Amino acid sequence: MHEVRFNPLINQWIIVAKHRAVRPWRPEEKQTSFQCPFCPGAPELKHLDKWDVVVLPNKYPALIPNPPSVEQEEFSLYTKREARGIAEVVVETPSHEGDLYTLSLDHAVRVVEAYRSEVLKLSSLDFIEYVAVFRNKGKEIGVSLTHPHSQIYALPFIPPRIKQEIYRI
């Protein structure tokens, strides 16, 4: 289910993506034979010979470019709309260990250049209102895979906090 709902109690749009509950959850903690999807040789990357930064579609996206239509329920507390947008993953290095701050300066610049390129591309789409680049750290915040990566969400709306900051300038 991909859906965006307007919550009148907090006056903002909420992304609902129930299917994300089935994504791999920190498999290295479970002692499985799991292969990291961001390490060289993984099926998601086998089409690439050599890389140092790569942008991939999110395998478990909260937003998709062509979502199914949503039906408004007659007595619903909230308004619904299609979860149209784009969710990408930026794999920052082939190395499973490390972090953005452990990369060389040249490599970190290539990561930032990948962000810039994607933000320019995604923000030019007519259904996109806001593009967010972010990194999560730790399982407490919801990081399901530990391989160094960031995410890019191209949203069909401007988040309220961002809108408030824009109008304060």
Q: Are 167 and 161 in contact (CB under 8 A)?
A: no
Which H or E run contains 150?
strand 149-155
Please tell me which residue in 47, 107, 147, 149 is annotated as part of the active site. Answer: 149
DSSP structure class, residue 167: H
Q: Are 133 and 119 in contact (CB under 8 A)?
A: yes
Helix (H, G, I), strand (E, B) or coil at 110: helix
Is 149 one of the catalytic residues? yes
Which tokens hold the place of 63?
């937003």
Q: Give the integer Cα–Cα distance in Å for 152 and 162.
A: 16
Residues classed as catalytic: 149
